[in-house]
A and B are shown apart, each in its own frame.
Chain A
Amino acid sequence: DSGVTQTPKHLITATGQRVTLRCSPRSGDLSVYWYQQSLDQGLQFLIQYYNGEERAKGNILERFSAQQFPDLHSELNLSSLELGDSALYFCASSPGQSSYNEQFFGPGTRLTVL
């Protein structure tokens, strides 16, 4: 158990819908990262937050947005869902934003878009 929690574990929805994925980092960790793991694209970095502020953006679609709240939990919002958005979404956290900080991964949220 990494100490990072993600809810829900599974999510099934229809095209065009909007969903919110939630992540609670390890106690004391200030950085949160979101990754997408899909069959055709592999693992891709989406976005990073540090202490409530966005720090880095990767291959995140405009239909996707995220935020980190004062209690440091983070939410990833996915809207106008398409079949291709079906994937495993991971959240990871680390103590700070230094490169040597290990990232601890949550169990992931499996999103299925029908």
Chain B
Amino acid sequence: AQTVTQSQPEMSVQEAETVTLSCTYDTSESDYYLFWYKQPPSRQMILVIRQEAYKQQNATENRFSVNFQKAAKSFSLKISDSQLGDAAMYFCAYRTMDSNYQLIWGAGTKLIIKP
């Protein structure tokens, strides 16, 4: 069974600085999707970025980018120019390519932005 591990329960960063959130996963599949979701205090689950495992190029969405290391089964999220609105819980999630399309979630990392 697939598992997702986020080893950092909490991270803090100074506003305008860069922070990297870690995520590792375990799978025997060769094709899959990886996601980072943001959950602000409103509790709404918001997709931040998505990476297809068969793509070698790292995904980028504005200030958010990933470092996808398939062999190492690592999927870290880099947030550049951190803003106060980035404060939230960040969840890494894995999605299989088989018929069961559930998302398998990490435990989350709480990101604190210091003004």
Residues on A lying within 8 angstroms of B by beta carbon are: 2, 31, 33, 35, 42-45, 48, 55-56, 58, 88, 90, 92, 94, 97-105, 107-108, 110
Given the interface pairs A43-B91, A100-B52, A102-B50, the reply to whether A56 lies near B45 with Cβ below 8 Å is: no
| Residues in A whose Cβ lies below 8 Å from that of B95 | 99
Inter-subunit contact A99/B97 (CB<8 Å): yes
Residues on B lying within 8 angstroms of A by beta carbon are: 32-33, 37, 42-47, 50, 52, 91, 95-108
Inter-subunit contact B103/A35 (CB<8 Å): yes
Inter-subunit contact B47/A42 (CB<8 Å): no
Given the interface pairs A42-B108, A90-B45, the reply to whether A48 lies near B102 with Cβ below 8 Å is: yes
Inter-subunit contact A42/B97 (CB<8 Å): no
Residue in chain B with minimal CB distance to A105? B45
Picked from B44, B47, B100, B104, the residue with its CB within 8 Å of the CB of A102 is B47
Can you list 9 A-B pairs with a CB-CB distance of less than 8 A?
A43-B108, A56-B100, A92-B45, A97-B99, A98-B101, A99-B33, A99-B95, A105-B46, A108-B45
Given the interface pairs A42-B107, A42-B108, the reply to whether A97 lies near B101 with Cβ below 8 Å is: yes
Inter-subunit contact B108/A58 (CB<8 Å): no
Picked from B42, B50, B102, the residue with its CB within 8 Å of the CB of A33 is B102
Query: How distant is A109 from chain B, measured CB to nearest CB, in Å?
Result: 10
Picked from B44, B103, B107, the residue with its CB within 8 Å of the CB of A103 is B103
| Residues in B whose Cβ lies below 8 Å from that of A90 | 45
| Residues in A whose Cβ lies below 8 Å from that of B102 | 33, 45, 48, 56, 58
Query: How distant is A4 from chain B, measured CB to nearest CB, in Å?
Result: 10
Name which of A31, A43, A92, A104 has the most chain B CB atoms within 10 A of its CB. Answer: A43
A55 to B32, CA, bound (A): 19
Residue in chain B with minimal CB distance to A45? B102
